A and B are shown apart, each in its own frame.
Chain A
Amino acid sequence: MKKDWAPTQGSFQDFLHWLDEGVDSGGEKYLEMHRRLAAYFDRKNCLTADELADETLARVAQKLQDKGEITELSPAHYCYVTAKFVFLEYVRHAKHGRAGLEEFSVSGQPGSAPIVATSPDDRGDDQEKLLSCLDRCLNKLSAADSELILEYYQGEKHEKIQRRRELGVRLGLSANALSIRACRIRTKVEQCVKDCCKSG
């Protein structure tokens, strides 16, 4: 792992520009890529998904600085390839006890006990705090976004599908565009709640 490397201000700007592929996203592409990488490592049950995402992006930025340009693959694809290497190294380190993978099991597989899942009913002070943070974070949104996320994720099965269809018609958005918008807002609120809960 190349944890000792840190980008200069200039090289980091070049990296952001390269990720943006010619359209200035104001850093959003970087954050989105970080989220995707962290989710990838998390799906691999890595204990430190966020750090591994940091590591991946740092390596790509360093490679870009060293080479001056990367043209053989799209930025996102290049990040994926790098992430695979980071993951393989991580697994190798894990086997030597220097890092860890979350253990999991599926009922029926021998030799491991299933993890006891947190029940939806298992709430307490944490849930109250989370609700308070959620309220605070929803209030930070525009009224339109706040209503959208509450309405989009409400209801069960068919009711939910119908509700989303109507919401799309009302907002003049295709199902795909509405879905992306709802996901963006939810991601934003989730991050806000996470920060809020951490800050106490």
Chain B
Amino acid sequence: MTPPDENAFEDQYLVRYLVGDLPAEEADRLDQLSIAHDDFAWRLREIENDLVDSYVRSELNGETLARFKAFYMATAKRRQKVQFAEGLRRFQASNATASERADKQSKSRAPFWGTFPSRIAPQFGISFAALLMLLAGYLLLQNAHLRREARDARAQYESTNQHARDLENELKQHHTTNTEAQNKLELSDRTTADIGQLKTVSLLLPPPTRGMSSLQTVTVRPHTDLVVLLLTLESADYSRYSVTVKDPATNEVVWQSSGLDAGSVGGRKVVSAALRANLLKQRNYIAEVAGLPNAGRQRIVGDYPFHVVLR
């Protein structure tokens, strides 16, 4: 049998076949291909899945809709496919709704800076000074400019100096252990000592479920190499994590990495994700963190929304 060209049949022609709208001779030819030709069989199945999905999404109209109802829905087997498609659509819709709800909740929360001490300190039993140390560490790492500001802040909190240095060292260790990001940047030849030469901006994001994840902003300047997201975990339940950075407007995945270890910053468990700054545009993003158990499928730990400003 002569196999068909890849584009020998238009999608609409195959739709007509599926809804019984082709003359017998033409249908016979496609019958044969649907069984004896692998590529055609898969393409036909794809077209059928899309056709059924279009029906349950009310996208069909005119003659196609009429024939779909009259012919396609005539057998129990095909009606089952429609029921499955309807179930899949509802499942996707409920997932999207849950995701939107979570997003709205996080956006409607009170501003982070105004409520941070009063809301968080009692819950975590962390002293206010320790929280300030965390913030100092965050500022230190944001960029060279912010480092100077952080040093001023550090001077104000002289008693916290040693702790802040510890934080900085820990974060540098995160940079060095993030080998995947380094490989992508072809920076594998740089040693730990060289990491400091990277123009890096860091953003510490609190756990999303503790009411402190109002939209935080990271400023990316023209010569910034890396954006390091420090994603604070509620608890370190997994040995490894994956991080996916998405554009929530399009659900497009901007960056993804898996097999990341959880580290420790200021007594809190964090997963750090270092991505190339030029991947980001001026808009909102969501960093989705998932735990990777030793066996079984990964579990979403939390979504961390943040905003990027390009300068």
Contact = CB atoms under 8 A, between A and B. Distances in A.
Interface of A: 33, 36-40, 42-43, 45, 47, 49-50, 74, 76-77, 79-80, 83-84, 102-107, 114-115, 117-118, 120, 123, 126-127, 130-131, 134-135, 138-139, 141-143, 146, 150-151, 153-154, 156-157, 163, 166, 170, 176, 179-180, 182-183, 186-187, 189-190, 193-194
Contacts of B290: 143
B71 A104 contact: yes
B18 interface: yes
A85 B295 CA distance: 49
B83 interface: yes
Contacts of B56: 120
Main secondary structure of the interface of A (DSSP, over half): helix
Contact of A143 (B39, B86, B87, B298): B298
A128 to B, nearest CB: 10
Q: Which 4 A-B pairs have the closest CB atoms?
A: A104-B74, A117-B69, A143-B297, A80-B35
Interface residues of B, number: 54
Interface of B: 1, 18, 20, 31-32, 34-39, 41-43, 45-46, 49, 53, 55-59, 66-71, 73-75, 77-84, 86-88, 90-92, 95, 251-253, 256, 290, 297-298
Contacts of B95: 150
B45 A80 contact: no
B4 to A, nearest CB: 14
A120 B88 contact: no
A120 B86 contact: yes
Contacts of B298: 143
B35 A83 contact: yes
Contacts of B84: 130, 134, 189-190, 193-194
